[in-house]
Amino acid sequence: MKKINSKKGWRFRNNEKKYLNKILKSDFSAGSDNYMSEKFETLFAKKHNQKFAISSNSGTSTLHQALHSFGVGHGDEVIIPALTVGMCGFVVWQCGAVPVYADVDSETFLIDPNDIKKKITNKTKAIMVVHLYGLMCDMDKIIKIAKRYNLKVLEDCAQCFLAYDNKKRISGTIGHVGSWSLESSKHISSSEGGVLTTNNKLLAYKMRKFGGLGFTNITANSGKVRIDKNKFQNPNWKRHNEFGYNYRMSELCAAVALAQTEKLEFFVKKRKNSGNQFIKVINESKSNILIPQKVPKDYIHSYYTFAALFNGKSRGVRWSDFRKKFLNFGGDGIYSAWQTVNNEPCFYKARKKGLYSGSMKISNSYGWGETPVAVKLQKNIMQFTTNQKNSNEIKKQILALKKTIEYYQ
Ligand SMILES: Cc1ncc(COP(=O)(O)O)c(C=O)c1O
């Protein structure tokens, strides 16, 4: 039998296996379904001081569930940052609505409230903010705008667990809904998975119902469908009183998600430690070849990744050369930013044709230069990994960066 690489899997070595065994032994809890997901939801809600948490099969599904609960539909517009993953745009399209791209701040890389204001029309229904790389957006300004125009606010925290703003508020708890991804690269993971939180019972009900196939007996608190066999096993029982998707988290994923949530603070602390060490080595180098994502005063970054603006062009150093050098010095990789959503081919082509969601016509009034800051940043961002197993692994990355900076000094 092939030997298991002991360096791998360190994130999943505690209750993950115990809970997985439990759920496998239970034949997937037939008759008492959602056992692990309920436990996971209860713990996740508690750690965020929220009344409701709803587990889901991905951090894309969660965004779709949230927009649906806001009533986003055909012809509506949702403002999203241009600098984010395509999934933020996909879910708007999945609602039959149109993503309208707001530019980002050149220093924090986060959605710019001033540009949000400029992009609001009478079709705008919601603002999706993305706490990119683990840093929270300026929620005070965003909530103020949302209140003024009666818009819903969705906080995409896929990359942001237990970050704080300058008022000590936890990421994901300020807008109407918070949304997280538990995909494998995230602070905590169940391979694939997602979770939503809210304090609003109606939104919780709508999100759970939409992701739970519209089963009649779903409530804001519970996705259980097999509640009362005598009532259920009856030819007259009507199962679905609404349309929906099957976005439910599997019990296997929920078993892992529960164990991971138990150690959430541990994983976040580890990434914060890595992020802070990257900053330290850059500050000590006195070089400006990398300019770290700016953390506003009294904000606490959760460092899903350490992101910096590459500033080597002026001295003739290419992005790809810097990356190669970093790898040569033992670095484990530098990731580039995704295309801005408006420049991903599917969104670009839809906009160019003036068509969206099938035959829906869209206005082209925003033109193409509407997010110049995001477009420029995208080409120059470097993302460094922060998910090292231990201090030796972190040291290796920091040393590689130190040597790379010195090489180009
Ligand atoms: C900012 C952001 N939003 C949404 C998603 C989508 O999450 P998932 O991959 O779980 O569908 C991701 C994941 O990569 C993300 O980084």
Q: Indicate which residue's Cα is closest to atom 5 of ligand 1.
A: 59
Give yes or no: residues 128 and 234 share one domain: yes
What is the greatest pairwise CA distance in the chain?
A: 77
Structure tokens of 138?
């300026």
Report yes or no on 351 lying in a domain: no
Question: CA 219, CA 211: separation in Å to the nearest integer?
Answer: 12
Question: CA 130, CA 137: separation in Å to the nearest integer?
Answer: 7
Give the DSSP letter string of 123-172: TEEEEEEE-GGG----HHHHHHHHHHHT-EEEEE-TT-SS-B-TT-PBTT
CB-based contact 389:100 (threshold 8 Å): no
57, 60, 131, best to mutate for ligand 1 pocket (most atoms within 8 Å of CB) = 60
What's the one-letter identity of residue 371? T
From the alpha carbon of 182, which atom of ligand 1 is closest?
A: 10
Give yes or no: residues 51 and 154 share one domain: yes
From the alpha carbon of 304, which atom of ligand 1 is closest?
A: 16
Question: Lowest-confidence range among 52-61, 231-240, 380-389?
Answer: 231-240
For 150-199, the pLDDT digits (tens) are 999 999 999 999 999 999 999 999 999 999 999 999 999 999 999 999 99
**Residue 132 belongs to domain with CATH number:** 3.40.640.10
Question: CA 290, CA 404: separation in Å to the nearest integer?
Answer: 11
Which residue reads 């039959």 in tokens? Answer: 96
Distance 27 CA to ligand 1 centre (A): 31
Give the burial string for 346-366 (b: 16+ CB within 10 Å, else e): ebeebbeeeebbeeeebeeeb
**C-alpha distances in Å from residue 333, one per residue of 160, 195, 309:** 21, 29, 16
Query: What mean pLDDT is reported for the chain?
Result: 93
For 288-311, the pLDDT digits (tens) are 999 999 999 999 999 999 999 999
From the alpha carbon of 58, which atom of ligand 1 is closest?
A: 10
Q: Indicate which residue's Cα is closest to atom 8 of ligand 1.
A: 59
Structure tokens of 356?
């969206």
Q: Is the pLDDT of residue 366 over 60?
A: no
Q: Is the pLDDT of residue 331 over 70?
A: yes
Report yes or no on 230 lying in a domain: yes
Give yes or no: residues 198 and 325 share one domain: no
From the alpha carbon of 61, which atom of ligand 1 is closest?
A: 11
Give yes or no: residues 196 and 178 share one domain: yes
Distance 181 CA to ligand 1 centre (A): 6
**C-alpha distances in Å from residue 292, one per residue of 163, 310, 315:** 17, 9, 18
Quote the domain boundaries for residue 294: 266-337+373-407
Q: Is the pLDDT of residue 3 over 70?
A: no
pLDDT for residue 28? 80
Report yes or no on 343 lying in a domain: no
Mean pLDDT to the nearest integer, 383-402: 96
Per-residue confidence at 359, pLDDT binned at 50, 70, 90?
Answer: low
Which residue reads 């138990």 in tokens? Answer: 262
Give yes or no: residues 253 and 271 share one domain: no
Distance 179 CA to ligand 1 centre (A): 9
Report yes or no on 175 lying in a domain: yes
pLDDT for residue 8? 83
Report DSSP state, residue 111: B
183, 188, 336, 339, best to mutate for ligand 1 pocket (most atoms within 8 Å of CB) = 183
Give yes or no: residues 163 and 307 share one domain: no
Give yes or no: residues 126 and 70 share one domain: yes
Report yes or no on 365 lying in a domain: no
Phi, psi for 386 (deg, rounded to 5): -125, 10
Per-residue confidence at 231, pLDDT binned at 50, 70, 90?
Answer: confident
Phi, psi for 269 (deg, rounded to 5): -60, -40
Report yes or no on 62 lying in a domain: yes
Give yes or no: residues 108 and 221 share one domain: yes
Report yes or no on 363 lying in a domain: no
Question: Last residue of some domain: 242, 264, 286?
Answer: 264
The percentage of the chain sitting over the pLDDT mark of 70, rounded to a whole number, equals: 94
Strands in 152-156's sheet, in edge-to-edge order, are: 52-56, 194-198, 177-181, 152-156, 124-130, 77-81, 98-102
Which residue reads 């603070």 in tokens? Answer: 265
pLDDT for residue 4? 59
Question: CA 331, CA 86: separation in Å to the nearest integer?
Answer: 27
pLDDT for residue 361? 66
Question: CA 244, CA 409: separation in Å to the nearest integer?
Answer: 57
Give yes or no: residues 181 and 70 share one domain: yes
The residues, any chain, with a CB within 8 Å of residue 346's CB and separated by 6 or more, are 86
For 122-140, the pLDDT digits (tens) are 999 999 999 999 999 999 9
Q: Residues 336-339: contacts with CB within 8 Å, 24+ apart?
A: 336/381, 336/382, 336/383, 337/83, 337/307, 337/377, 337/378, 337/381, 337/383, 338/84, 338/85, 338/86, 338/378, 339/86, 339/378
pLDDT for residue 228? 78
Structure tokens of 336?
């580039």
The angle subtended at Cα 399 by Cα 394 and Cα 400, nearest 5°, is 100
Report yes or no on 361 lying in a domain: no
Residue predicted with more confidence, 152 or 359 = 152
Distance 372 CA to ligand 1 centre (A): 23
**Residue 328 belongs to domain with CATH number:** 3.90.1150.10
pLDDT for residue 132? 98
**C-alpha distances in Å from residue 344, one per residue of 16, 91, 351:** 37, 14, 11
Report DSSP state, residue 334: E
Give the burial string for 83-99 (b: 16+ CB within 10 Å, else e): bbbbbbbbbbbbbebbb
Question: CA 294, CA 268: separation in Å to the nearest integer?
Answer: 19
Q: Is the pLDDT of residue 364 over 80?
A: no
Question: Last residue of some domain: 243, 264, 285?
Answer: 264
Q: Indicate which residue's Cα is closest to atom 2 of ligand 1.
A: 158
pLDDT for residue 316? 93
Distance 324 CA to ligand 1 centre (A): 27
Structure tokens of 390?
């231990």
Q: Indicate which residue's Cα is closest to atom 3 of ligand 1.
A: 158
Give yes or no: residues 81 and 162 share one domain: yes
Ligand 1: lining residues by beta carbon, under 6 Å: 58-60, 84-85, 87-88, 130, 156, 158-159, 181, 183, 194
pLDDT for residue 1? 53
For 53-98, the pLDDT digits (tens) are 999 999 999 999 999 999 999 989 999 999 999 999 999 999 989 8
Phi, psi for 193 (deg, rounded to 5): 160, 165
Q: Is the pLDDT of residue 319 over 60?
A: yes
Question: Last residue of some domain: 245, 264, 283?
Answer: 264
The residues, any chain, with a CB within 8 Å of residue 64's CB and separated by 6 or more, are 91, 94, 95, 210, 245, 247
Q: Would the pTM count as exceeding 0.85?
A: yes
CB-based contact 303:272 (threshold 8 Å): yes
Give yes or no: residues 35 and 181 share one domain: yes
For 16-55, the pLDDT digits (tens) are 999 999 999 888 865 566 789 999 999 999 999 999 999 9
